[in-house]
Amino acid sequence: MTHFSGIPRGNPAASSDTIRRQILLLNYLEKKGRESKQLSFLAHIEMDDVKRKALFVCLGNSCRSPIAEGVFQKTVNKMAQGHLWEIDSAGIADWNVGYPPTNRAQNTMKRHDVPYNNVGRHITLEDFNNFDFIFGMDESNMKDLREMAPEGSKAKIFLLGEFDPEGETIIRDPYFDNHARGFEKCYEQVVRSSKGFLEWLAQRDDM
């Protein structure tokens, strides 16, 4: 069976080319100020049915990683690729297990129409084999993740901000801020980094 482009299903180049075209189209329509519903026509484009799994991790799973989880989900949904991703977030520490993100994190997501209804959880050793990609928010997260990762585990561990085209590699931790600006900064960084990662992934034929 072939794609509409005539490239056989399962060909990595076909998948990457399709993602690349979708990202370019998404950026074009956003620049034109179109509503996200206008992207729904992308749903007819055939893609491989193998799900990719991404886990976003910060210290407490109360601010940065929930925002990253929600933003990434919204981004792939707008690309009509939500069904091809399994997305979650977790904390290095366990103090927010079972609780929703902080009110300020939730308010930030609501302001930007980012749906979210998850609760905090603690990262587990199994996550390193259940997920394809694990993203830390800062160097401390990365150190902890690398130390925790079982030898030979499959997850690729990245600093999320490495994919920020503006070069801000450390995602702002707004937990101790007494204003909303830090949360807005965190949100903006995560939006750029999510798109940057997807653009990078579209160039790869080995993931």
The pTM for the full model equals 0.78
Top-confidence residue, 194 or 43: 194
Q: Give residue-wise pLDDT tens across range 78-105.
A: 999 999 999 999 999 999 999 999 999 9
Contact 89, 68 (CB under 8 A): yes
Q: Has residue 41 got a pLDDT over 60?
A: no
CA 48 to chain centre: 19
Tens digits of per-residue pLDDT, 167-179? Answer: 999 999 999 998 8
Is the pLDDT at 71 greater than 70? The verdict is yes
Nearest C-alpha neighbor of 114 from the set 79, 66, 80: 66
**CB distance 84 to 51 below 8 Å:** yes
Residues identified as active-site: 58, 64, 173
In this prediction, residue 14 has a pLDDT band, given cuts at 50, 70 and 90, of very low
Pairwise CA distance, residues 111 & 165, whole Å: 24
**Residue 29 binned pLDDT confidence (cut-offs 50, 70, 90):** low
pLDDT number for residue 64: 98
What is the pLDDT at residue 21?
A: 64
Q: Who's near 177: CB < 8 A, 6+ residues apart?
A: 183
Q: Which of 13-22, 73-82, 106-115 has the lowest mean pLDDT?
A: 13-22
CATH T-level topology, domain 50-202: Rossmann fold (3.40.50)
Q: What is the tens place of the pLDDT at every residue in 120-150?
A: 999 999 999 999 999 999 999 999 999 999 9
pLDDT for res 9: 37
Burial classification of residue 91, based on how many CB atoms lie within 10 Å of its CB (0-12 exposed, 13-18 middle, 19 or more buried): buried
Residue type, 144: D
- In the sheet with 52-58, reading across from the earlier edge strand, the strands are 85-91, 52-58, 133-136, 156-159
